[in-house]
Chain A
Amino acid sequence: MCLAIPARIVELDGDKAVVDAMGNRWKAKTTLLPEAKLGDLVLIHAGFAISLVDEEEAKKTWQLIAEISEFQDTSNKVSG
């Protein structure tokens, strides 16, 4: 199974949703999370939202991923 990352519900029609994770958008269903609303952050597994995600925690995850674009110089690690 894939690692899930938090995704935001950007479209919602009944239980059919489109979720956005760092610019990538997938179709998902909210059947198992009836309380989910447009704009909520959710955890997606096998095409279904299974939990709401705490906003602060989600931000930390996203920021961690965003920070990988700050490539770290290894010139001090070069041997020889």
Chain B
Amino acid sequence: MRASKHDKILLAHGGGGQLMDELIRHHILPSFKNDTLAELGDSAKLNVESSSLCFTTDSYVVKPLFFNGGDIGKLAVYGTVNDLAVAGSKPVALALSLIIEDGFEFELLDKILANISKAARQSNVDIVTGDTKTVEAGAADKVFINTAGIGVRLAGVNLGFQKITVGDTIIINGTIGDHGMTIISQREDMKFQSQLKSDCAALAALICELLEKTSGIRFMRDPTRGGLAATLNEITRSTGLSIEIHETAIPVKPAVQAAADMLGFDILTIANEGKFIAIVSPESADDCLNICRNHPLGKDAMIIGEVVQTRDVPLVEIETRIGGKRIVQMPYGRELPRIC
């Protein structure tokens, strides 16, 4: 990668002229070597062998940009790839949009681009098109990223809320709260030293394996912002059914729990970036668990609860560690800004 003679982004790098050309040719193109992108067309031309596609988009504004276990770039790829995977599709192409603040160091930008590139290769997707804008200092907090992704739906797979029924099991592929607590530990106002690490990971391969080898998966979702609490409540709202989960079955790392306790957070509401929940028929539950546990991203997989009949209003209820019962509400969404 030829170094720019500038060490910081200037507004002109987004201006469509010489500097922008330099940014694209010397920093962006070399990071994502593929023919489609190299054409630098206004749109990417794709040949996809299916007319049954999934399409998603997400924006990434995480603060801090770099954290233990990942960075905004890695998140931007994995987050979108995971959204395609939980919808039952194989990710094929990503669009990448950058909004960069005047004064942002090229060294950091190059690091982020390298991480995006690595994450894309690991997920078997190409960055086929993109956009770059620059804004005045203060108008974006260093850099904001948006990715949009296209996936080809897997044959015979049809996931949806409507397929969920009473008796279905709820499986999660591993420990909760890792990402959110890691971010919090590196925030200025709450900083503490720890061994915590974000669980940021690409789930497509594991999810595809599950969908190809088992037939009882009804629905999947990745519990990002709002954590498990938000995702399970979304399910009860959409289905009208209720959910019971068991605190002793929910995988949590002791250090993560301790950190959440210290700061007063409910671990169920903390974001995850390498986890999915699957609603699975009871007959397929064991097979799904085994497949997960034989995969590096699912070794702590557990059945955490089940879908039950609604008695009065659709609820998510948890049986606590001491045998008590309480309701898990939809979190308010303001406690932890800019987690992803």
Contacts and interface: CB of A to CB of B under 8 A. Distances in A.
A24 B282 contact: no
A69 B264 CA distance: 20
Contacts of A79: 166-167, 306, 308
Given A2-B264, A71-B249, A71-B300, A78 B169 contact: yes
Contact of A24 (B166, B252, B262, B308): B262
Contacts of B163: none
A77 B194 contact: no
Contacts of A69: 251-254
Interface string B171-205: 00000000000000100000011111000000000
Interface string A51-80: 000000000000001101101111101111
Nearest to A67: B254
Instruction: Please indicate which of the listed interface residues A25, A68, A69 has the most CB atoms of chain B within 10 Å of its own CB.
Output: A68
A23 interface: yes
Nearest to B250: A71
A56 to B, nearest CB: 19
A73 B248 CA distance: 8
A74 B303 contact: yes
B48 interface: no
A69 B253 CA distance: 6
Interface residues of A, number: 26
Nearest to B193: A25
A1 B258 contact: no
A5 B252 contact: no
A71 B251 contact: yes
Given A3-B262, A71-B250, A77 B196 contact: no
Interface in A16-70: 18, 21-26, 44, 65-66, 68-69
A66 B257 CA distance: 9
Given A68-B254, A73-B249, A79-B167, A26 B285 contact: no
B169 A5 contact: no
Contact of B264 (A3, A65, A80): A3
Interface in B44-73: none
Contacts of A25: 192-194
B277 interface: no
B261 interface: yes
Given A74-B249, A78-B282, A3 B261 contact: yes
B226 interface: no
24 contacts: A2-B262, A2-B263, A3-B262, A3-B264, A22-B258, A23-B195, A24-B192, A24-B193, A24-B262, A25-B194, A68-B248, A68-B252, A68-B321, A69-B253, A71-B248, A71-B250, A71-B300, A72-B246, A72-B249, A74-B302, A79-B306, A80-B166, A80-B168, A80-B306
